[in-house]
A = this chain, B = another copy of it.
Amino acid sequence: MRRYCCNPIITPADVIPSREDFEVIGVFNAGAVEIEGRTLLLLRVAERPIGEGVVAPVFNSDTGLVELMQFSQDADVSDPRIIKDGGQYYITSISHLRRAWSSDGVVFSVEDVPALYPSNKYEEYGIEDPRITYIDEKYYVNYTGVSRYGAGTMLAISDNMLSFGKKGIIFAPDNRDVAIFPEKINGRYYALHRPSPGMLSKPSIWLASSENMLDWGHHECIMMPRSGFWDGEKVGGGAPPIRTADGWLIIYHGVDSEDSYSLGAALLDHDDPSKVIGRSSKPILLPCEPYEVSGFYGKVTFTDGAILRVDGRLDIYYGAADETICLAQADINEILSIL
């Protein structure tokens, strides 16, 4: 992959907070889709209350408001993303989803207000990491709903990416990194997902299928971490799979033993995506630039959206260090040639 010259392309300074008393601390992990020649990113925007103190912003589904939970200074905040207090975990920020538009795929105009905001008890700690799949003239947006119930995958459906119908949980907590295929295969919808494996296994990429997008079954584990490799500890789906002449191209993330998040590629069979035809032995993108190594949570490159342009260029929009949006590009044939 070649990084775009002027990364990052969107930073927290480009995003107006949703409330005057909040600051934007991260804009990253965006879903991506092309609509009538323009590129739409659905950004994850992470905010926190301005000021001192150990505080978790939490959506209250009874009042419909985000309220501030106060913790004592003794609470454990050694991970900048998390507050640990009395055996319970809370999140230091709350995320919503925001549209950003571009005519050239590089310079984006970020909308002033949220497109999707927490609105129920399964979203009380925020909504994160959207992926967009366009299929049968509808946009299916899956995202992570985070709450005291865990981190599960929610679905919203839209005709135009302007208004959305929330459909609840499609993969129960803990399950993230869901990527829906952009076509039915043998009459069923397909998705990658990443259930929480317990002590017997490590976080792995699973395949599921569905008749109706809401009920999912036929689960199969298709890719596990490879011990000692760049993806030795965890793997999870990234951008929605892309149809190529050789099969379904998936851009996924892998985590190594040093907690470094890199991107890799794999190829799945067209007609039976449980068959893995190829898998990159090295990452196609690993955190090494300053904006990837340092940030809110360093050593992270993570994608939720990639667009295959008409000339065969693959634009991968990725979150860097849980703080900014960046762009990496490659000819799709270069990627396929290593698989």
Q: Which residues of A contact B (CB under 8 A)?
A: 89, 122, 125, 146-152, 168-175, 193, 195-201, 204, 206, 208-212, 214-221, 224
Partner of A170, one of B125, B196, B204, B217: B217
Tell me whether A217 and B218 are in contact (CB under 8 A): no
Contact between A150 and B217, CB atoms less than 8 A apart: no
Evaluate contact between B211 and A211: CB separation under 8 angstroms.
yes
Whether A201 contacts B168 by the Cβ 8 Å rule is no
**A63 → B minimal CB distance (Å):** 20
Min CB–CB distance A195 → chain B (angstroms): 4
The complex places the Cα of A147 from the Cα of B170 at a distance, in Å, of 24
Q: Do the beta carbons of A172 and B215 come within 8 Å of each other?
A: no
A125-B200, A196-B174 given; A214·B218 CB < 8 A: yes
Contact status A193-B215, CB under 8 Å: no
Is there an interface contact between A150 and B200, defined as CB atoms closer than 8 Å?
yes
A168 in contact with B219 (CB, 8 Å):
yes
B-chain residues with CB within 8 Å of residue A214 when the two chains form the complex: 217-218
Write the nearest CB–CB distance from A120 to chain B, whole angstroms: 11
Residues of B within 8 A of A196 (CB): 174, 195-198
- Determine whether the beta carbon of A215 is less than 8 Å from that of B211: yes
Note all chain B residues with C-beta closer than 8 A to A216: 215-217
Task: Give Cα A84–Cα B254 distance, bound, in whole angstroms.
Answer: 24
Q: Give, as a whole number of angstroms, the nearest-CB distance from A141 to chain B.
A: 16
- A204 and B218 CA atoms in complex are apart in Å by 23
In-complex Cβ contact of A197 among B149, B200, B221 (8 A): B149
- Name the contact of A219 in the complex, choosing from B146, B169, B198, B200 (C-beta under 8 A): B169
- In the docked arrangement, what's the CA distance between A212 and B210, Å? 11
> With A168-B219, A210-B215, A218-B215 as given contacts, are A173 and B151 in contact (CB-CB < 8 Å)?
no
Q: CA A93 – CA B222 in complex, angstroms?
A: 26
Q: Which of chain B's residues has its CB closest to A90's CB? A: B200
A-B contact pairs, 26 of them (CB 8 A): A148-B200, A148-B201, A149-B197, A149-B200, A149-B221, A149-B224, A150-B195, A150-B201, A152-B219, A169-B219, A170-B217, A171-B219, A173-B197, A173-B198, A174-B196, A174-B197, A174-B198, A174-B200, A195-B195, A195-B196, A196-B196, A211-B211, A211-B215, A214-B218, A215-B215, A215-B217
* Given A174-B196, A174-B197, A197-B196, A218 contacting B149 (CB threshold 8 A): no
Instruction: Give the nearest-CB partner of A86 in chain B.
Output: B227
Chain B residues lying within 8 Å of A199, measured Cβ to Cβ, are: 89
Query: Do A218 and B168 have beta carbons less than 8 Å apart?
Result: yes
Contacts of A217 in B (CB 8 A): 168-170, 210, 214-216
Closest to A153 in B: B219
Partner of A150 from the list B89, B151, B198 (CB cut-off 8 Å) is B198
**Which chain B positions have C-beta within 8 A of A206?**
172
Q: Are B197 and A150 in contact (CB under 8 A)?
A: yes
A148 proximity list for chain B (CB < 8 A)? 200-201
Task: Pick the contact of A195: B147, B172, B209, B221 (CB < 8 A).
Answer: B172
**List of B residues within 8 angstroms of A122 by Cβ:** 221
Closest 4 CB pairs of A and B: A174-B198, A215-B217, A215-B215, A150-B197
